Amino acid sequence: MAREGMVEIEAARNRMGSADFYAEEGPVRDVEVRGFAIDRGPVTVMEFTRFVGETGYVTVAERPPDPADYPGADPALLVEGSAVFHPTPGPVPLDDPGRWWAHVPGANWRHPWGPNSDDSERQDHPVTQIAYEDAEAYAAWAGKELPSEAEWEYAARGGLDGAIFAWGDEERPRGELMANSWQGDFPWAQHRCQAMARHLTSRPLPRQRLRSVRHDRERLGVDKRLLLPARRWHRRCRQPLLRAASEPARREARRKLRRRPPGRAHPRRLIKGGSHLCAPTYCLRYRPAARQPEAIDTSTSHTGFRCVVR
């Protein structure tokens, strides 16, 4: 099976999780990870375009929702679309994400912020507005699979066992910004620091040559410095706890457990990794140990995926 553009990860035993931030990340436990290969970066717009062109696949966000899946919902609201982030005009309470998230008709992977947006000039950016079913379909077409939580976290740590971030314990070593996270007061003030001035959404993936290396401080050759272009879908999800590191985060966890459509609940899968919307004042999920559930019918303007071969 072709592994071009992937990085080989050796089998190992390592620690997983954290006891210092959100309760759903604990307890810290030892896990055995078999050898596998992982995509150096998330699947790009260009790669997903090729998949759709060859298969004719239609993503979840591009299909009309089935009323049977949402009994009691207003039929006028059951239209093709997806969740899009909109900054607020000023400070708002952080316990109501509906202030900065909205279902936008016509938003999908081609038009991630709505029907008037266009991804055609962002071919080297991570593809977003991807639901779990879409990620699985692409992986099957590519002869790959979605990573397990243990595989992704092991690769993201890059040999720094127990470190807070993918690059170490300091968020900004020597004052250097290490990832494309929200800089400023979330969700309204985004400071344009020089390093990230052109990347207030996702960042393009680097085109340098890929290589296979040992799983040590050489960092795998995996896209880690640009760790946060989009959150990633994973195969498994444990039920999260309702205790978290801060009151806004605790309310966020409760909201995610309650956010179910009328009628039957949609199954949930795990999302790992951060995004350009992660902010220290609201969401500390740009750490390898971070984890959260998401309904499988949900796609957003900051969620993508990467694949593995076992």
What is the structure's pLDDT at 2?
A: 65
Contact criterion met (CB below 8 Å) for 97 and 252: yes
pLDDT confidence of residue 220: 44
- Residue 241's CATH number: 3.90.1580.10
Q: Is residue 107 part of a domain?
A: yes
Full DSSP string of 18-86: -SSS-GGGPSPEEEEE--EEEESSPPBHHHHHHHHHHH----GGGSPPPGGGSTT--GGG--SEEEEE-
Residue 229 lies in a domain: yes
From its phi and psi, is residue 248 left (phi > 0), alpha (psi between -120 and 50) or beta?
Answer: alpha
User: Is residue 1, in this structure, part of any structural domain at all?
Assistant: no
- CA distances for 42 relative to 45, 89, 175, 303, angstroms: 10, 31, 27, 10
Mean pLDDT by 10 residues, the chain (310 residues): 83 93 92 94 95 98 91 88 95 93 96 92 92 96 95 91 92 88 90 48 47 35 42 53 42 44 65 88 89 91 94
Range of the structural domain that residue 36 is part of: 6-309
- Between CA 29 and CA 112 the distance in angstroms is 37
How many domains, the chain? 1
Residue 165 lies in a domain: yes
Query: What's the Cα-to-Cα distance from 90 to each of 100, 156, 172, 215, 258, rounded to whole Å?
Result: 11, 34, 26, 44, 27
Q: Residue 75 class from Cβ within 10 Å (0-12 exposed, 13-18 middle, 19+ buried)?
A: exposed
With contact defined as beta carbons under 8 Å apart, do 213 and 220 qualify? yes
- 40 belongs to a structural domain: yes
Give domain status of residue 76, yes or no.
yes
